[in-house]
Chain A
Amino acid sequence: MSPVIEVRDLRKTYGAGDTAVHALRGLDLTVEKGEYLAIMGASGSGKSTLLNILGCLDVASSGQYLLDGIDTGEFDEEQLSLLRNRKIGFVFQSFNLVPRTTALANVELPLVYAGVRRAQRRERALAALDLVGLKDRVHHRPNELSGGQQQRVAIARALVTSPAIVLADEPTGNLDTESSRDVLGILDRLNASGRTVVLITHEDEVAAHAMRTVRVVDGRVAGVLV
C-alpha cells in the first residue's frame, strides 16, 4: 500500500537574490495511511511552510509531492482546488472561519464547493458538528463562540468532506489548557477512526498524542523520534 504523503527533496525559497529565504532545503518525508504524525521544530524552521505545501495552499519551488500516490506538481489551479476540497482538511492556528456566518454554514462550505445537495449537506455538517460536541451551537456566528469552540468548528469543517488527511498547524496554539484538551481529544478520535493526521506543535504534551514525531531543523527533517 502506497503512503498517503510522499515528499522528495522539497525546496521552498521566498523572495529572490540577496533577500531570498530558503525555508525548505531538500526535505524528505513519508506519512503512511492512518498515521498520526507530529511535526516539531524551532520557530522559523519551516514547519508551516511544509504543512501549507502539504495542504496545497502553497506550491514548492522544487521537489516532488505525491498525495495519495498522485503527483501534485502536474496539477493546475483548478485541479489543486479540487484536491483541497476532496483530499485535505486543514486546521489553522487562527481558526480562519468565515466571519458573520453561522457555524453550520462554515462547516457546509466545503460541501457546497463539492457540489453536495442541500439536504445531504445539512445532514453531514450537523453530524460533523455533533462529532466535535457543538450540536447546540450550530446557529452561532464565530464572534459568538469561544476560541476553543471556533477551533472545533474549524475541525468539523476540515473533516466534513471525509478527507484523506487532516493537517493542523498549531491547532492549540491560541487555546487555553481545557480547550486544547478538547481539540486534541477530537483529533485522537479522528485518528482512531482511521483518518491520517499531521499536526505541528511546540509542546511535548501535544506531540505525545502522536504515534510518531519528526523534528524539522533549517528546512530539513533532522531525525525521527519514536
Chain B
Amino acid sequence: MRIFEIAAFAVRGLTANKMRSGLTTLGILIGVASVIMLIAVGNGASSAVEQSISGLGTNILTISPQRAQPGGTAKPLTAADAAALVGPDSPDVKYASPVVSAQATAAYGDTTHDVGQFIGSDPQYFSTTNSAVASGNLFSANDVQQARKVVVIGSTVATQLFPGTDPVGKPMLVNNIPFTVVGVLAAKGSSGLQDADDVAVAPLTTTQNALTGYGSLTQIVVQAQSADALPNAQAQVTTILNGRHKVTDTADYRILSQDQLLTARTATTETFTVLLASVAAISLLVGGIGITNIMLVTVTERIREIGIRKAVGAPRSSILGQFLIEATLLSLFGGFLGVAAGVIGSQFTIAGIQPVIVPSSVLLAFAVSALIGLFFGSYPASRAAKLRPIEALRHE
C-alpha cells in the first residue's frame, strides 16, 4: 500500500462528510482563536498601563496627601509646600509642580463635554508629563501668577468640542466660567484604562480660584535632576516636608516614585492577565473537550467503515494511517484557521484595549488543540483497527 493511496482515502473521508469535517474544524478554530485573543487582551491591557506610566519618565516622584492618623492632624499639601521643595536644601530636585484636579464640564457653543481630567498646575507640569503642544502655546508662569483664565486642552477635548475648527483662541466655558483655549496637546493615545487625551490643563491659581477652592493639592509632582538622583531627591523632599508639616511619627503625605507606581499598577494588571489566562485555559479545556467529543463521535460512527475496510483486506497499518492523516489535516486546518481568526480578531480594539498577541500563546493554543484533535482522532481509530473485522462490523 502506498502512502499516497491512504492519503487519498483520508482526503476523500474528509470531503465525503463536509458537515462533520466543518464542525470539527470549527471546534478547533474556536478553541485556538479564543485562547489567543483572551491572552492578547490581557497582555494588551498590561502593556498599555506600563506604557502610560513609563511615559511619565523615570525621574518623577508624586506626593499625595494622606489622611491623618488618629489623634494627629493632617496638614494640607499647599502650593507653598511645592515651592519649598525647590531650593538649596534640595539640590537633586529640578521642579516641583503643584497639581489640583477638578470635575469639569466644558462647553463651546451648544456642545458640552465632561472633561476626563481637569488639571490645575504650572508650566513645568507639561515637561514632567511629557506633554508636547500640537498647536498654539502652553500657558506661562506669568499666566499662573496673574491667574489668567487660559486653558490647554487634549486632543479628545479638541475633537469633541471643536470639530472641524481650530480651538486656539476660542472661548471655552468650564463649569460656566469663560476660559480661552491657548493650546492643544499632541495626542498620546489611550492608556488602556483611561483616555490620556481627554484632558485640560489650566494654571493652578485659576483652577483654585474658579473651580476647586484653596484646599489641599491633589498632588505635588517632583522631577529629580536625573533618574539616578531620585533616591537623594526623595530623601531631601521627605526632610523638607517633615519639617514643614512637623511630622513626628507618621507622615501626613505619601511619596511614590514612578517605579513604585509601575510596580503597583503592573501587579494589578498582572492579576488581570492571570485572570484572563485562566479563562483562556478553561476555554482551551472546553474547546478540547469539544474537539474530543466530535472526534470520538466521528470515529465511533466510522467503526463500521473500519470493519468494511478490514473485511476487504485492509491491513491495520493502512487504517491507522488513514485516520491519522484525517485527524492531522483537520487539526492543522482548524488550528491554522484558529490562529488566523485569533490574529485578525486581535487587530481590533476590544473594550478599549488594544490586544497584543503573545507569541507563545499562539504556539500553545495551536499545539494543544492540534494534539487533542490528533489524539482523539486517531487513538479510537487505532483501537477500532485492532478489532476483528466482524466485531467492527457489528459495532452498534
Contacts and interface: CB of A to CB of B under 8 A. Distances in A.
Contacts of A58: 388-391
Nearest to B391: A58
A109 B309 contact: yes
Contacts of B2: 115
B316 A78 contact: yes
Interface in A85-112: 85-86, 90, 92, 96-101, 105, 109-110, 112
Contacts of B16: 99-101
A115 B313 CA distance: 11
Contact of A84 (B1, B17, B311, B318): B311
A113 B380 CA distance: 22
Interface string B6-21: 0001001000110000
A195 interface: no
Contacts of B5: 112
Contacts of A29: none
A82 interface: yes
Contact of A81 (B12, B304, B310, B390): B310
Contact of A98 (B309, B315, B391): B309
B361 to A, nearest CB: 38
A205 B388 CA distance: 33
B313 A57 contact: no
B388 A57 contact: yes
A113 B311 contact: no
A: contact size bracket: 20 to 34
B313 A81 contact: yes
Nearest to B310: A81
Interface string B283-311: 00000000000000000000011011111
Given A84-B389, A112-B1, A101 B311 contact: no
Contacts of B310: 57, 81, 84
A99 B308 CA distance: 10
Contacts of A96: 304, 307-308, 311, 393
B312 interface: yes
B305 A57 contact: no
Contacts of A57: 310-311, 388-390, 393
B211 interface: no
A86 B307 CA distance: 17
Contacts of B210: none
Contacts of B391: 58
B306 to A, nearest CB: 10
A176 interface: no
A59 B388 contact: yes
Nearest to A101: B16
> Is chain B's interface secondary structure helix, strand, loop, or mixed overall?
helix
A115 B318 CA distance: 12
A110 B5 CA distance: 12
A35 to B, nearest CB: 23
Contact of A99 (B1, B305, B388, B390): B305
Interface in A150-183: 157, 161
A21 interface: no
A84 B311 CA distance: 7
Contacts of A157: 312
Contacts of A100: 16-17
Nearest to A107: B312
Contact of A113 (B1, B305, B307, B390): B1
Contacts of A99: 16, 305
A72 interface: no
B308 A113 contact: no
A101 B12 contact: yes
A84 B390 CA distance: 12
A169 to B, nearest CB: 11
Interface in A20-72: 52, 55-59
Q: Which of B308, B318, B393 has the most CB of A within 10 A?
A: B308
B196 interface: no
A192 interface: no
Q: Which of A84, A92, A112, A157 has the most CB of B within 10 A?
A: A112
Given A57-B388, A58-B389, 18 more contacts: A57-B389, A58-B388, A78-B316, A81-B314, A81-B315, A82-B313, A84-B313, A85-B313, A85-B314, A96-B308, A98-B308, A99-B16, A109-B309, A109-B312, A110-B313, A114-B313, A115-B2, A161-B313
Interface of B: 1-2, 5, 9, 12, 16-17, 304-305, 307-316, 318, 388-391, 393
8 contacts: A57-B310, A57-B389, A58-B389, A77-B316, A78-B316, A81-B310, A81-B315, A113-B313
| Top 10 A-B residue pairs of the complex, sorted by shortest distance between their CB atoms | A85-B313, A100-B16, A110-B312, A57-B390, A57-B389, A84-B313, A58-B390, A81-B315, A113-B313, A113-B314
